[in-house]
Amino acid sequence: MPNLNTRRFTNPDILGKIRPASLVTWLTPAKEYLATRGVTLPADVADGPVDLEKLAAVFLDPDPDMPRDLVESLNLVNEMATDEAMEAILEAQGPRKFTLEVGDKPSPADVAVQTLLLNRLLLEELHNEHQLTRPRSFEYFVCEGDEPPKFTPPGKEQIEALEARLDDWYAKSKRGRGCKVIPFPKEGECWFLVRHGLPCKRESAMVEGESSSVFYRPQKHDVVVYDTMQGELRMNCCGKRELELFRKAFGLHLFGKEEFFPGTGKYRLKPLLMGRGCLACLDIEGMESVTLKEVQFLFGGKPWQRVTRASDDIYGLVEKEKLFWPEDPERIKRATFEIKFAGSKKPRRVTIIPSNKAQYGRDDDGIIIENWLKERGFIGEDDDNETDETETGIVDKS
C-alpha cells in the first residue's frame, strides 16, 4: 500500500473548499469502496452534499482495500493543493490550451481537483516540476578548473547508467531498486528529480475491526541541479552518504569523472568581521536591504559548546560592544540574514553554513542572493572550515 500523506484531508472544512460537483466527479470511480466505508456519494449534487466528516475519516484511516487510483490521485491532489502549485497550474492554462472554471475565489485544492479531472497528465507533469522547487536547503559543489565545460543535457543512455549506479547503492542501503532520474533542462541550469524508495516501514492498522499492520516502502524525491554557467552542482537529499553518492555519480555520468565536483568549500563568513558594510546590497538588482539576524559560534576547550546569538540587528550588538567577533573567522559556524526584496512586502531569510550549505526562505531567491554573496565576498576560495572543536578561539563578552 502506498504511503499516504493525508493531512490536508483530515479536516472537513478543507474538503468543503472543493466544489461539490468536482468532488463527486473525482470520487465516483471509488463509489463502491466508499460505500463500504459508510460514505454515500449522491448521483447529483442537487440530491444532497457529501458527508465531509465521514469522508475525512476515510482519508484519515486508509485501509489496504482503498483503490490504487484513489490513493495515487489523493497524493497528487494533496501535494498540489498549495498556493505555489495553484499559481503554476493557473499559469499553465494559456500555454497548454485548457481552461479551468473555478470562479474568482478558488481554493488550491479546488484548482488541483479540477485539473486532475480535465488533464491528469498535465497535473502529474506540474507535480514533478513542483517537487523540484519544494526543497529550500542545498549543498553546493563547484566543478574543477576555472571554466566549466560546455554542457549538453544527458541522453537516455546516460540517464539509464546513472539510474543503475544509484540503484546499486539504494539496494545495498536497503531502500530497494527502481529509482528514476527525471531531467528538466532550464535556461542556464539542468534540474534532476531523483525518485527513490526509503527503508521499509511497518505500522499498526485496523483491518475489519482487528489489529493488524501495514508494511510499505515510502517514496522520496531528491533534487540535483547543475548550474551550466557557474559549473556548480547543488543538491537536496537525505543525508551525507547520499550526498557523496550524488556528487560522484553525477560527475561521472554527466562529465566522465567521479571527482569532477571535488567537494571543496564554497561559502565563507570572514566578511562579517569587516563590519556592517558587508551587508550593502543596493548594487544588486532586486534587493533593498539586508540585516544580520543571527550568528552561531563554536566555543573551544573541553567540553566544547556551540552558542547562537540572535537579535533584530546583530551589528547593533557589535557596535554597542555587547558582542565581539572572534579573531579566527572559522569559529563562525553559520549566519542568518534577513533580506528585503524589491516588490516584496515581507523580508525573507537566508542562512549560510560554511562550507557548502545555503538555506533559502524561498527557492527562487537563489539567483539574486548568490549574486549578492559573491559581490560581498561570502563566496570565495575554500577556507577549510573543518576545525578541531577542542581548540579555543571564540571571544564573547556579553
pLDDT digits (tens, 9 = 90+) for 85-133: 888 888 888 887 778 877 777 888 888 998 998 889 889 888 877 766 5
Between 68 and 38, the higher pLDDT residue? 38
Predicted TM-score of the model (pTM): 0.58
**Calpha distance 160→224 (Å, rounded):** 16
Residues 6 or more apart whose CB falls under 8 angstroms from that of 63 comprise 37, 205, 206, 207
In 3D space, the residue among 268, 257, 253 whose CA is nearest the CA of residue 332 turns out to be 268
Residue type for position 45: V
Strands 287-299 and 210-216: unpaired
Pairwise pLDDT comparison (337 vs 206), residue with the higher score: 337
Angle (CA) 246 249 254, round 5°: 115
| pLDDT for the residue 262 | 86
Please answer whether residues 356 and 141 qualify as being in contact, where contact means their C-beta atoms are separated by less than 8 angstroms. Answer: yes
The reported pLDDT for the residue numbered 13 is 60
Supply the mean pLDDT for the chain: 83
- When pLDDT is cut at 50, 70 and 90, the band that residue 396 belongs to is very low
When pLDDT is cut at 50, 70 and 90, the band that residue 45 belongs to is low
pLDDT at 75: 75
List, for residues 131-143, the tens digit of each pLDDT value.
665 546 778 888 8
pLDDT for the residue 131: 64
Percent of the chain with pLDDT over 90: 33
- How many contiguous H segments (helices) and E segments (strands) does the chain have? 12, 12
Rounded to an integer, what distance in angstroms lies between the CA atom of residue 209 and that of residue 207? Answer: 5
Report the run of H or E that residue 141 belongs to, with start and end.
strand 137-142
